[in-house]
Amino acid sequence: MRRALSRLLCILLSLFVMGVLLSAEALCAVPIMNDPKGFQNIPWGTPLTTRQDLEVVQSGAHITEYRMRADGSTFADAEMTSVLYVSIDDQFARVTIRYQGELVHKQVLNFLETRYGALQRIPGQMARGLNQQYTWRGSDTEINLTYQAGTKRGYIFIDSRTLAPRFNDDITDSAE
């Protein structure tokens, strides 16, 4: 009886902690001013196969990655390591951007704050530290930026809020 009660308390505590963490994530997001509803004037859901300015980098059963044929590795007026346009079932759903360097990071962060909203220095969003994470959330778009100060590498995910969850479905389906 005592063991069952102990397990029940453990489960309830775990559920409470998970709920707090999930709600904290939602609180940490900055609301996007002027949701772009896509990237570089390409609306979410657009079939990328018809675009002549993109070339396939990697293709799978449901997910295809593209890059610009020419001058496609810039963002925020800075040179990026890579800019990938990702579609799921031929619907544009995500942009993955990688960059290197502290100066580029400052430029990217300034660009995102200027265009999509100033960061609210609240718990969960660090201005300094080994791992910095920032989120902007709009009705159609979510932007997540992670910067690893130790390696000076940055990652930006710009997602369609309605299509990006389908990436998880594809991972689940392929794991069976």
The residues spanned by each domain of the chain are: 31-175
Extract the tokens encoding 159: 């997602």
- In this predicted structure, what is the pLDDT of residue 29? 85
Helix and strand tally (H, E) in the chain?
3, 12
**CA neighbor of 104 nearest in space, from 167, 155, 144, 171:** 155
- In this predicted structure, what is the pLDDT of residue 124? 53
The CB-based long-range contact list for 118-124 (8 Å cut-off, 24+ gap) reads 118/30, 119/30, 120/30, 122/27, 122/28, 123/24, 123/28, 124/24, 124/25, 124/27, 124/28
For domain 31-175, the CATH architecture is 3-Layer(aba) Sandwich (3.40)
- In this predicted structure, what is the pLDDT of residue 11? 55
Per-residue pLDDT of the chain (176 residues; tens, 9 = 90+): 666 555 544 454 454 444 444 434 444 689 998 999 999 999 999 999 999 999 999 999 999 999 999 876 899 999 999 999 999 999 999 999 999 999 999 999 999 999 999 987 655 545 556 889 999 999 999 999 999 999 999 999 999 999 999 888 765 555 45
- In this predicted structure, what is the pLDDT of residue 26? 44
- In this predicted structure, what is the pLDDT of residue 19? 47
